[in-house]
Amino acid sequence: MSSLNKFRYNRILIIRCLHFTEKSSVVCRFQHVKVNHWVYADPRLKEGLESGVFKHKNHPGIMQLKKCYLPEHLEETMYMLAEKYPEDQLKTAAQKLYNYLWSRHLPPSDASIQTKAVVLESKLTKKIDNVESLTSEDKKQLADRTVDTELLKKLKRIVYHWQPIKYDVFRCFQYMTGRVPYDYSCLYRVLNEIKMRDSNFMPKTLLDFGSGLATSVWAANAIWNGSLHEHYCVDKSMDMNVLAQLLLQEGDEDKPMCYNHVYFRRFMPQSSKNQYDLVISAFSLMELATQTDRLELLMSLWKKTEKYLIILENGTNAGFDAISEARHFILQCPHDLPCPRVTTDKGTPCNFKITFKPFYKDFCHHGHRVKGENVEATFAYLVLKKGIRNSDEQPWSRIVREVHRHSKKVPLNTCSPEGHLEHTVITRKRHGADLYMCARKSNWGDLLPALKRDSLLSSDNDEDDDDDVDSE
């Protein structure tokens, strides 16, 4: 590289750095993200493309679904059953329940409440101590009265008031029309990824804790049609179990259920000897009152797991907190290290996008993006697998944020197998046409079919990068 080119290259980098540091809020947000451009296409990618096994638009890293709709006969049954109540009444109530569930938080622990109480008491007493006209005895008496009257009031304002939800008949119908499309789409998306990444897995038994309206039964059978021969659904609400069974009977109590061997129970099976190929807990962790209850449930579910344990929650900070709490073993997250969203990027949940069709066309979802008749929402999930890890599987980074495609480059925010949040810019010149086209076809939640370079790059590659910088 000539001296003039080196000067021009360094000058461009300096200008860009100065321009970037002016945006202090952006620098603060991405200060822990590593920049990594030195990746190359997995050799298996070129082999598959040349042999015609797949194309760029459906490369092996594609995990995200463009959209996910309910099974037609399930949707028809839901519309038929929903006629039991006036549409306006049910729609308003369903929307209220959906938004409440979306904004729900984990119950506050006793320790967190005590910490907030100590901080508030310190502020109240400090405010009284600053009053110079009072004697020390008067200050003490005033502090005692103030703490007794004001502390509890202020504490109620800042502590989340968690309450268990009781599902009666009408609330079950609210849940059916408000949440089932979202729940089904999330479950279908995760189960479909398991099928894509483990094509030999054919589950025969399923256990679902907090089964609700048995959306896991519908989703699992849509993925593995004819494979499952036992479905064990656990939900403490009897009304919820009755409605779930009615949906499987297509709204007619005299009809058999459309899937065989579906059992509804209010409590978990006591025996730990019975294990299930697929164990699911979807949107249930936030319904447990304490952390002890949540962890005990997780251990109980893990003991009953033969192959896969799946945990899903809302794609909110609270949902991600519940997932992080349960994250002891990792499968679908590309590494076994502490989650970088927790350790270096606090306040930003690790979630993924799902597109679904709501039950009501003009249904107003809290904080969601509406695209025509579809709605975009997010979810957080964890998949745990029992068994020996496949050592032959090449680790690919996962795209963890929206992909913004430019004319000659594709910037990607990824989570690497080493447990780092990375920012990678894929270009045709630097990374080749195949990886560039695959990156353009990828979306949030997909895997990037690329590996990292193990050796230092040659000076020829450096000169190519100079040309890329000058041309941008």
Could you tell me the CA-to-CA distances from 207 to 117, 191, 230, 239 in Å, in that order? 41, 14, 8, 19
Which residue type is seen at 112?
Answer: S
In a domain, 66, yes or no: no
pLDDT at residue 143, as a whole number: 66
Domain co-membership, 57 together with 88 = no
On whether residue 427 sits in a domain, the answer given is yes
Is residue 176 located within the same domain as residue 324?
Answer: yes
376 and 251 in a common domain: yes
Amino acid found at 366: H
Residue 11 maps to a domain: no
How many whole angstroms separate alpha carbon 34 and alpha carbon 141?
56
- pLDDT of 343 reads 60
Question: Do 83 and 211 belong to one domain?
Answer: yes
Same domain assignment for residues 46 and 173? no
Compute CA distances 389 → 190, 198, 213, whole Å. Answer: 19, 12, 34
> Which residue among 385, 418, 436 closes a domain?
385
Q: Tell me the per-residue pLDDT of 18-34, one tens digit each, with 9 for 90 and over.
A: 333 333 333 333 445 56
Stretch 163-167: mean pLDDT: 93
Specify the pTM. Answer: 0.81
Same domain, 148 and 226: no
- Give domain status of residue 26, yes or no: no
Same domain, 182 and 221: yes
Among 158, 176, 192, identify where a domain stops: 158
Q: Are residues 235 and 375 in the same domain?
A: yes
Backbone angles phi, psi at 368, to 5 degrees: -100, 155
CATH number at residue 189: 3.40.50.150
Indicate whether 143 and 262 sit together in one domain: no
262-302 pLDDT per residue, tens:
999 999 988 778 899 999 999 999 999 998 899 889 989 98
Three-state DSSP class for 170?
helix
Pairing of strands 262-265, 230-234: parallel
Residue 7 lies in a domain: no
150, 160, 171 from 293: Cα distances, Å: 32, 18, 24
322 shares its domain with 270? yes
- Tokens at residue 253, please? 């109590």
337: exposed, middle or buried (C-beta count within 10 Å: 0-12, 13-18, 19+)?
middle
Quote the domain boundaries for residue 401.
Answer: 32-61+396-471
What is the number of domains present in the chain? 3
Do 299 and 436 sit in the same domain of this protein? no
Whether 251 and 141 share a structural domain: no
pLDDT band at 395 (very low <50, low <70, confident <90, very high): confident
